[in-house]
Amino acid sequence: MNPLTLNEVQVDEIRKLAGDERRFLGFVGETPIANDIFTILDRLDIMLLEYPIEPEGDRPAFSAAIMYSEEGDKKLTFIGLNTADFYDKQIFAIAHELYHYYTKSGSHLSRPEDEDNSLIEVKANRFAAEFLLPETVLESIVLDEFKTSSLEKIQHKALLRFIARLHCTWWLPYRSLVRRLHEIGAISSDQYTELYSIDERDLQGEYGKAGLATNKDEFLKLNQPTKNIGTSPNEIEIIIRNFEDNLIDEDKFAETLSLFNKTPDEFSYEIKVSQEDIDELDAFFSGEDDDED
């Protein structure tokens, strides 16, 4: 099955949405979001749930999920992040889920196999790329670097070094950057195929060496899974206060804390969560529940 492509109207709508939200959050011009993606979640009152789900074969079971819980007149928003994935892909996955948040497309679980064959997933991926590295900014960077908008005559090794610098500055995954360069017409289809086929995670490979020489610390960080379990202390406090204010019930309180290897007991609350409820939550993250909107 051929990957879906977006038409000009769809691309323009996504570009405008990403630009509007970047400006609203204070990211103007050539300002990378990078690690600030986590601060953005705090500002939007989205609680991040980090948990490593080991890969099924050579691909992650899922990248991220966005979930909602309504208690009374308050709507709680959670993003579940698979921290068994590479760190740069975690950043991209959060930006991807923000598309679902901004477009109000409901609870959603991102699976790698859906990336190219689901229209909403293709849109969310394009939004994530535009949100993290706007097209106009990338065009300006290319022109400043090479004094031309076309990179067809640029040597392969020079292209890899350029992509490595983008990677370490903007924190998009390598393949997302290659796709971005092709989207703006900077590289040819042949260059795209050649660059996209590279094993970008091989630190001893051509691209790996270019990345390590560019910024070793950043490059290594981006090319490793974090395996984090938890959320920020601020978000744990929000969960506790939501329970204390009767915005979430005992089961939801215990279920949510269990994601971070914590229990109500640790906060002086004696609550028991049923195994059935835990199994239901685990099923959502493992992709066994196919009832997402």
Note the pLDDT tens digit of each residue in 244-276: 888 888 888 887 777 666 788 888 887 655 566
How do the domains of the chain map onto residue ranges?
Answer: 1-132+230-293, 135-224
Q: With 50 as the cut, is the pLDDT of residue 292 above it? A: no
| Phi, psi (rounded to 5 degrees) for 83 | -85, 5
64-71/74-82 β-pairing:
antiparallel
Per residue, what are the HEC states of 64-77? EEEEEEEECCEEEE
Q: Are 58 and 26 in contact (CB under 8 A)?
A: no
Per-residue pLDDT reduced to its tens digit, 186-221: 999 999 999 999 999 999 999 999 999 999 999 999
Q: What is the structure's pLDDT at 286?
A: 62
CA distance 197 to 174: 11
Q: How many other C-beta atoms can be found within 10 angstroms of the C-beta atom of residue 251?
A: 16
Q: What is the structure's pLDDT at 113?
A: 56
108-109/74-82 β-pairing:
unpaired
- Distance (Å) of CA 117 to CA 58, 100, 148, 214: 19, 17, 34, 34
Q: With 50 as the cut, is the pLDDT of residue 293 above it? A: no
pTM to 2 decimal places: 0.80
Q: What's the CA dihedral at 111, 112, 116, 117 to 10 degrees?
A: -40
